[in-house]
Amino acid sequence: MSTEPAVGPVPPVRRVRVEADGGSRGNPGPAAFGALLRDADTGRVLAESAEAIGTASNNVAEYRGLIAGLALAAEHAPDATVEVRMDSKLVVEQMAGRWKVKHPGLRPLAVRAQRLAPAGTTWTWVPRLENADADRLLNAVLDGERAEGSRVVDEVEWAAQDAALADRGGRQEARTGATAGGTAGAGTRSTADILVGWRDRLATQPTTVVLLRHGVTVNTEAWRFCGSGGTDPGLTDRGREQAARAARWLARRTLSDPPERIDRVGAVDAMVTSPLRRCRETAEIVADELGLSFEVVDDLAEAGFGDWDGLTFEEVSSRWPDLLATWLADSAVRPPGGESNDAVAERASRALAALLAEHRGRTVLVVSHVTPIKTLVRVALDATGPVLHRMHLAPASLTVTQWWPDGVALLRAFSHEPE
């Protein structure tokens, strides 16, 4: 990492605010962090730091951004009180001691941040829009628009900052952390995010990923947890008919005459499926209709629910009430003998990255399960883990996402049930 020389003195300050962010394009994927140190009384940015960190997850990048921001505070304002503002609920809650750090890859980073944080540090979660400056720094590094490293802001730039603050209505706006013209992202998107609603007008071609949930099984109809490592049931007669309806809908799509509707799916170029029986049977029905072959991708399997597998929600709630509540709120928590939603997100994102690399600009059909599909929707929307439990994904429904080469993703349809 190269470091630019300081170009101006940093005046004594009483209170500083660390604004930090990190993100990856792919989660995991190419990752970077951005951090800045702000005088909490004047709103001036005193120093900033940004660095690409290779392939990493969003959470790792966010912790790296926090560490960089705390290092700026220790170097440039060692006697000031510190407030940390981040849009990562996970990092803020863990550093405040309200959530445990359970992921082994995050524990060393959390310990390092704790050692850097001075006594009395306050931890504040803010919406992404209010963390736009840190987001801008990390995206500038990923886009090659900014050299990596740390720098101290000089008096000329402070004058420009003060003028900008006055133009936006005074310093109160600076204290909210909002930045005019800033993008509301968490590092998974490019600086072109403002055009996300106009993507059809752009010359770049997205990769369309159509996500098909399998048809119903006996466990689906009984509303039982049914994950990897369980009984692996096949489709019922109703499930096979659902798969056939989805296949017929997909067969009507053509590249030459795309339908003028929000789901806009062209002809399917390639198919992949989870290895579990219900998905393979769904994929076989669709492949026969489309005249395609398909590949089995292990990373697309349903979450492992461990001791919960085969039980209804009510049965799990009666036996593990506290753990179930924690699982619903924290994507790092796993059922006994099972798999966390964070672990599913890691492997589903890995599968997605491989598909985007291999089938750029084409349409790929992914036959999978509730958790991997909703996870990829969450990644596309740059949403937090608990949002998974606020989506209802119907059996044999189609969800359509598009992914551009610059990292922007778009959700075109969710849980569409073909007729």
Active site residues: 214, 302
Q: Which DSSP string do the residues of 231-264 spell out, in sequence order? A: ------HHHHHHHHHHHHHHHT--SSS--SSTT-
Q: Minimal CA–CA distance to 209: which of 376, 346, 350, 26?
A: 376
Amino acid at 287: A
Distance CA 252, CA 267 (A): 8
First to last CA, the chain: 56
What's 289's DSSP letter? H
Q: Which DSSP string do the residues of 100-167 spell out, in sequence order? A: ----TTTHHHHHHHHHHSPTT-EEEE--GGGGHHHHHHHHHHHTT-S-SEEEE--HHHHHHHHHHHHH
Sequence-distant contacts of 410-414: CB under 8 A, at least 24 apart? 410/196, 410/199, 410/206, 410/380, 411/377, 411/380, 411/381, 412/262, 412/263, 412/264, 413/262, 413/263, 414/377
Buried b (16+ CB within 10 A) or exposed e, 21-39: bbbbbbbbbbbbbbbbbbb
- Tell how far CA 240 is from the center of its chain: 33
DSSP run (H or E) holding 212: strand 207-213
| Rounded (10°) CA dihedral 57, 188, 305, 101 | 50
Tell me the β-bridge partners of 224: 312
The CB-side HSE value for 93 (13 A sphere, CA atoms) comes to: 12
* Contacting residues for 336 by C-beta, under 8 A, at least 6 apart: 306, 307, 308, 320, 323
Distance CA 296, CA 273 (A): 5
Distance CA 413, CA 144 (A): 33
Helix axes 277-290, 237-251, angle to 10 degrees: 40
